[in-house]
Structure 1
Amino acid sequence: MPNKKHVVEEEDDDEQWNHKSLDVLNMKKNLFINICQSLSIILMLIIIIIIPISQVFVGWHYSDACPINQSIPYYLIVAGIVGLLLIILIFVCQLMIRTFSRKMFDNVIDRANSNRTTTLVGCGVCSIMCINLSLFIFLLGWSIAGWVWVLGVWNKVQYYHANNNDYCHPIVYKYTFSLLLLTISFQIILFCFVCRKTCVRIMTLRKKETITTDES
């Protein structure tokens, strides 16, 4: 008969090998998930950056090609510049949060003066978030103005006779209209998403309160 000690050692070795295999599989899975998330973020960032850059390009290139309402190409230019600035500030804010949250307590100085570092980073992030909120509110109001300018000439605009006062280049007008439609659709989806999250949280809190009341 085999030695019991030898059998136990073999079982321990098998268990350790299984744990190592699971660890390797988990590492590969986490690596794959991180790569997919990074690629998704990069792709979304590229798409988001392309929109304001295209706004500035179209508005600048066709700034004199919409005599029916010269405000339409200028709307594109301003919206593109402010949108690009908003994206840059959001990226800087996220970078600050990720960087300083890891390095905040890395050295002895920061550990001894944790309040100084926390206050400095917090003030910087808070300032950028306030600027972002202001820019977002401005873009919201600017979008309303864009809707007024675009829909105000809906029944009058024509795309064939460039010398007439009711002319607007089709790229300028149709691109602006499509972009405004996309913006309001995104805002509606975001509003519904926030409402859903809020309702779920409220229901969860009510359930917790009910359970606490029943237990007491």
Structure 2
Amino acid sequence: MAAGLEKACHRCLSHMAGNVCFIFGLLAFLALPLTMAFVGVKTIDDCPIQPMIPLYLLVGGVVGSLKVTLLLYDTTRMRSLLSKSVVIGDDDDDEYPWRQNAHKYHVHVVLSTFLFIWFILGNYWVFSVYVPNFIPPFHRPQDYCRKSLYIFSVFVLALAHSALVLLLSCTACLYVCSRTSTREDYGQD
């Protein structure tokens, strides 16, 4: 059973890595963390009421760019390995080409964990000052946040929340499908 699941994962990953649209999608997705880093740098002093908001964008953008770049590298590496060839037989004990080295796996886990914790902190920092003053008050000039910075931060968090809900929904659907399917559904004995 585990070998069948591994083969199914191999086919799925091979199909994704072989799809040029997936690579272009990753390249397009790289625009978001790069934009986050750019906005964070440009507005580093424009939110005195919560100075962590521009820092959240800057650090999240840099680490997110690194994560997407590593995913692009892994995908192009997988494409080159697949183009060289892999026909996997049932009794083939060789490593599948999509398996990563342990250190690369740990790098992805560390980056993903950091980004998730940073996302939680970003939610706290952005929503702790929900709808701040966008124009500096005369009596307290430090109690404001630049409107474009704040709106962009809320947009980034809303996009991340949407992606998280989509990911969790797909995972739940896959789990339910894997629990309800049988070997007869796939024509296997």
**TM-score, structure 1 length as denominator?**
0.65
CA-to-aligned-CA distance 1:56-89 (integer Å, 9 cap, x gap): 1100000001100111000000000010000011
The CA RMSD over aligned residues, in Å, is 2.8
Q: Give me the whole-angstrom Cα distance separating, in 2, the residues matched to 1:193 and 1:122.
A: 23
Q: Which residue of 2 aligns with 1:100?
A: 81
Percent identity for Structure 1 against Structure 2: 25
Question: How far does residue 133 in structure 1 lie from its aligned partner after superposition?
Answer: 1.9
Instruction: Give the 3-state SS of the residue equivalent to 1:135 in structure 2.
Output: helix
Counterparts of 1:53-202 in structure 2, within 5 Å, are: 53-103=34-84, 118=95, 122=99, 124=101, 126-154=102-130, 157-161=132-136, 164-202=141-179
CA-to-aligned-CA distance 1:97-140 (integer Å, 9 cap, x gap): 222344378xxxxxxxx97xx5998553x432321121111111
Q: Which runs of 5 or more structure 1 residues have no equivalent in the other structure?
A: 1-36, 106-113
Q: Give me the whole-angstrom Cα distance separating, in 2, the residues matched to 1:96 and 1:42.
A: 12
Counterparts of 1:24-35 in structure 2, within 5 Å, are: none
Q: Which runs of 5 or more structure 2 residues have no equivalent in the other structure?
A: 1-18, 87-92
**TM-score, structure 2 length as denominator?**
0.74
4+ residue stretches of structure 1 with deviation over 4 A?
Answer: 118-123
Instruction: Give the 3-state SS of the residue equivalent to 1:55 in structure 2.
Output: helix
Q: Give me the whole-angstrom Cα distance separating, in 1, the residues matched to 2:112 and 2:166.
A: 16
Query: Greater Rg, structure 1 or structure 2?
Result: 1
Q: Give me the whole-angstrom Cα distance separating, in 2, the residues matched to 1:70 and 1:179.
A: 17
Q: Give me the whole-angstrom Cα distance separating, in 1, the residues matched to 2:31 and 2:121.
A: 22
Q: Give me the whole-angstrom Cα distance separating, in 1, the residues matched to 2:52 and 2:71.
A: 28
Q: Give me the whole-angstrom Cα distance separating, in 2, the residues matched to 1:51 and 1:170.
A: 19
Higher fraction of helix? 1
